[in-house]
Amino acid sequence: MSDGLRYDDSVLAPSSSPLDRPVGRLAPRAGPAFEALGMRTAGDVLRHYPRRYADPSTLTDISGLVVGEIASVVAEVRRATIRVARQTGAPRVELEITDGTSTLRCTFFTKRQRMAQAMLASMRPGRRGLFTGKVSLFQGTAQLTNPRRDWFDSGPDDDDEDAEARVAAEAGWPTPIYPASAKLESAKIRAVARVVVEQLHDGDVADPVPDEIRAARGLGPLLEALRDLHVPRVEQDWRRARHRLRYEEAFVLQAELARRRARAAAEPATARPRVPGGLLDAFDARLPFTLTAGQRSVGDEIAAELERSVPMQRLLQGEVGSGKTVVALRAMLQVVDAGGQAALLAPTEVLAAQHARTLRAMLGDLAEGGLLGGAELGTRVALLTGSAGAASRRAALAEAAGGGAGIVVGTHALLSAHVQFADLGLVVVDEQHKFGVEQRDTLRAKAAAAPHLLVMTATPIPRTVAMTVFGDLETSVLDEVPAGRSGITSFVVPADNDVWVARTWRRVREEVDRGGRAYVVCARIDGDDADGADLVAVEPVTLGDADATPRRPLRAVSEVAEELRGLADLRGIGVGVLHGRMSSEEKERALADFASGATPVLVSTTVVEVGVDVPEATAMVVLDADRFGVSQLHQLRGRVGRGSAPGVCLLVSSAPPGSSADERVRAVAQSSDGFALAAFDLEQRGEGDVLGASQWGAASSLRLLRVTRDGTLIEQARTDARTLVERDPELEAWPALRSAIDVLLADSRDEFLDRS
Ligand code: ADP
Ligand code: MG
């Protein structure tokens, strides 16, 4: 358009909303800095939420600061000077701030004189802001080193917005503090957000929450919330705004989950009614134990759903050792009896192999269908893993495709395009937390009609998390473990206490002498190497200055196995090893030798974490337990005490007393309630990690919502969303809600792809 022709904006983009205005027009010089923080348009600025609010009218009492703590101080600049280190010539800015009575020194170290000058220019006396940093002692006086500064007014070169902001500050309005960057002060973001908010009219922002729902829940319109969030007059304003936006996050997510659920339910499934006198009845007759009340009622629930031509979509949560496998197996047999096939998807090869072995053992000759000597109504169990040999792989594929195998067990290999089924009627996903929604869908797509779906989680999760992460599934809970278990006693063993550590190994000997088996779990395989997929996902503990002792390297499988083989207390006892770098035959053999008692001590990585079931195992020793997560420890502990003999769990930890790692380990030692531990975990770790396993609840989509705290809100949003979707399954009447969902999906997809 360099020929002099000019178009009016409104012609180029007839429907252009004020929200689409590029940020460069609102803040020409700062445009790139805004874009670097992900804000391209006015709308992006509005959705860049303040991190917190400061009260500019109340200066913080500086004399009350505690050395070592992180302090946030509202104060005024008194004096700022540049000093130069005599030896290095490095400049630093020394700033004195005041609360009107006392003063506090802040020191900023810089590399260049020019940086120091620029910093100094922003610190003109009288300027008020929030200073955040760790209080340290320097030459006997408290000071802040390189604190973060959030000015209440705009910088000295932003004269236009300056005056207005200062008026707000002086009126005592709460000051929003935004996530900022070195190039973009919080005050600048605040000034731009204010301009955007003030230019908006009612029709400019489309509200994803329908009016009638807002009315019923007593929530204000979106525009009002955005105003109150960015330009609050009193604390109540931003609190109300946050509540409303939190509801919105929950509602948009729940609407998508309800829509997925409705879509899946609309696909016809094949009904798989119970066939009397079939495999299931034969299996039940042979069960060596009676089902628990929970297993029976959940079993009935599932059986009834399988009989319908609407696909089951069920999540089975179960405490460790509650007997989920039997429940799943009975569901699979019902489907096989009705002429269909079932696929069981496990997260590791060890677990897939074990499931196949258990199923074959429990079924006995019922699993030898078509073979000489097999029961007349028998079926077959095929095992498909990535590392299986070519011949057995071909055989398994043929059995799956031809329908000879009623049950196909496998790892991710089941997802591959080569795998086909004659008539897949049920998909069981064991230990769900290792699978994403998309993988579930891939398996489902292998069936002609929609298969029934049963997802089992090994880790109990609080109800609100289940609603958020698995909101498209109905939930069943198995909370009792079969009677006759004698329980597990857990202890924390300080790694630096030689007497206790020696006692640990003697205890292992005692367990073995009594006919038990002991797992010894390490965080690493050898020297400097971690066990890929099995690696502990917990961040290293950050130590405060006080206990900055260098950490010992993590104990490794190879080294610990050597040590135990040389230990007098364990003389004559076979020690095996198991880790993710062994071939699947080696792994199988290691587990078999352990189960048979040939090597009653098994040193391993967390490959034994989920699902491994050796009833004779009575002792679990976890080395470097402080490096493991709560649910991981709980899972590990669940490997013992599965038979009639009581179990013991010894958590060897080198966490400093009082550190969060120490709290974690102690919490596990003190409670055996998986749900309570999951709640503790969520609180301690924050949600990011916990929700991180799913595409939902990715950091960018859930910004204000906290599943730990906002349970009620999530329940309300779910009820509202389901009601709405029942009336209008594709949300045709709600374009604003649909586009909010699109944003959520795009964000989640990006993040999920980033992670994988
Ligand atoms: P999880 O729920 O942790 O996956 P499993 O399905 O592996 O638990 O079951 C744990 C152990 O309990 C298995 O050895 C299983 O055979 C046994 N088991 C399951 N149900 C019962 C029951 N009703 N009574 C006694 N033992 C049971
Ligand atoms: Mg299991």
For residue 492, the domain's CATH number is: 3.40.50.300
Residue 455 contacts residue 314 (beta carbons within 8 Å): yes
Q: Looking at the structure, tell me whether residues 386 and 301 fall in a common domain.
A: yes
pLDDT of residue 728: 94
The C-alpha torsion from 119 through 121 and 125 to 130, rounded to 10°, is -40
Q: For ligand 1, atom 19, name the residue with the nearest CA.
A: 323
CA of 431 from ligand 2 middle (Å) equals: 7
Type of residue at 505: W
Cα–Cα distance for residue pair 83/344, rounded to 1 Å: 69
Which numbered ligand comes closest to the C-alpha of 323?
1
Find the 425 Cα to ligand 2 centroid distance in Å: 21
Among 283, 284, 317, 322, which is best to mutate for testing ligand 1, by the most ligand atoms less than 8 A from CB?
322
The C-alpha angle 76, 78, 83, rounded to 5 degrees, equals 125
Q: Residue 581: exposed, middle, or buried by beta-carbon count in 10 A (0-12, 13-18, 19+)? A: middle
Domain holding 77: CATH number? 2.40.50.140
Atom of ligand 1 nearest to the CA of 638: 3
φ, ψ at 556 (rounded to 5°): -115, 150
Clarify whether residues 498 and 351 are in a common domain: no
Q: For ligand 1, atom 26, name the residue with the nearest CA.
A: 482
What integer pLDDT is reported at residue 695 of this predicted model?
Answer: 47
Dist CA 54 CA 60 (whole Å): 11
Residue 264 included in any domain:
no
546 & 598 share domain: yes
* Judgement on whether residues 523 and 416 belong to the same structural domain of the protein: no
**Beta strand 148-151 with 313-318: parallel, antiparallel or unpaired?**
unpaired
Do 421 and 532 lie in one domain? The reply is: no
Question: Looking at the 3D structure of the chain, how many domains does it have?
Answer: 3
Q: Say how far residue 170 (Cα) sits from the centre of its chain.
A: 43
Per-residue pLDDT, 645: 84
Domain boundary at 478, 513, 546, which?
Answer: 478
For residue 592, the cross-strand partners are none
Judge contact between 509 and 575, C-beta under 8 A: no
Contact 518, 602 (CB under 8 A): yes
Q: Identify whether residues 471 and 520 lie together within a single domain.
A: no
Residue 166, domain extent: 52-177
From 324, 478, 613, 635, mutation site for ligand 1 pocket: most ligand atoms within 8 A of C-beta: 613
How many angstroms is it from 353 CA to the middle of ligand 1? 17
Residues 502 and 445 grouped into a single domain = no
Distance 430 CA to ligand 2 centre (A): 7
Q: List all residues whose CB is within 6 A of at least one atom of ligand 1.
A: 289, 291-292, 295, 318, 320-326, 482, 611, 613, 615, 642
Q: Are residues 445 and 508 in the same domain?
A: no
Question: Which ligand gives the minimal distance to the CA of 637?
Answer: 1
Structure tokens at 742: 């699109």
DSSP percent split of the chain into helix, strand, coil, nearest 5: 45, 20, 40
Tell how far the Cα of 632 is from the centroid of ligand 2, in angstroms.
14
238 within some domain: no
Write down which residue in 151, 177, 203 finishes a domain.
177
**Residue 696 counted as domain residue:** no
In a domain, residue 509? The reply is: yes
User: Which are the contacts of 550, defined by CB distance < 8 A and separation ≥ 6?
Assistant: none
Rg (CA), the chain: 31
In a domain, 222, yes or no: no
Q: What is residue 144's predicted lDDT score, i.e. its pLDDT?
A: 92
How many whole angstroms from 629 Cα to the centroid of ligand 2?
Answer: 19
Query: Is the C-alpha dihedral spanning 420, 426, 430, 433 positive or negative?
Result: positive
Co-location of 363 and 509 in the same domain: no
Is there a domain that residue 213 lies in?
A: no
Tokens at 547, concatenated: 């206990």
Taking the CA of 362 as reference, the closest ligand is 1
Instruction: Give the per-residue SS3 of 663-696.
Output: HHHHHHHHCCCHHHHHHHHHHHHCHHHHHCCCCC
What lies within 8 Å, CB to CB, of 357 at 6+ separation is none
Which residue from 315, 322, 326, 517 has its CB within 8 A of the most atoms of ligand 1, so it is best to mutate?
326
Ligand 1, atom 4: closest residue by C-alpha: 324
144 DSSP β-pair partners:
106, 135
Which H, E and C letters describe 519-572, residue by residue?
EEECCEEECCEECHHHCCCCCCCCCCCCCCCCCCCCCEHHHHHHHHHCCHHHCC
Same domain, residue pair 511 and 413: no
Strand, coil or helix: what is 368? strand
Q: Do both 76 and 128 map to the same domain?
A: yes
Residue whose C-alpha is closest to residue 659's, from 627, 621, 692 = 627
Predicted structure pTM score: 0.71
Residue type, 597: G
569 and 445 within one domain? no
Residue 311 has a CB neighbour count (10 Å cut-off) of 25
φ/ψ of residue 233, rounded to 5: -95, -35
Separation of CA 324 and ligand 1 centre (Å): 7
User: Residue 707's closest CA among 694, 693, 690, 721?
Assistant: 690
Q: Give the mean pLDDT per block of 10 residues along the chain (756 residues).
A: 40 63 90 93 93 83 83 89 88 92 90 87 87 86 88 62 58 84 85 91 91 96 95 94 95 91 88 93 89 95 96 88 90 95 88 85 79 66 84 90 92 84 92 62 79 84 74 83 81 94 96 95 74 36 35 85 94 93 86 94 85 87 92 88 87 90 93 84 66 49 78 92 94 94 76 45
In the reported structure, the alpha carbon of residue 325 is separated from the centroid of ligand 2 by a whole-number distance in angstroms of 6
At which of 636, 671, 706 does a domain end? Answer: 671
Tokens, residue 651: 């958590």
What pLDDT sits at residue 165? 58
Ligand with minimal distance to 321 CA? 1
Does the residue 736 lie in any domain? no
Q: How far apart are CA 109 and CA 61, in angstroms?
A: 25
- Ligand 2 center to 458 CA (angstroms): 6
Residue 272 resides in a domain: no
User: Mutation test of ligand 1: which of 287, 289, 320, 455 has the most ligand atoms closer than 8 Å to its C-beta?
Assistant: 289
Query: Which ligand does the CA of 326 lie closest to?
Result: 1
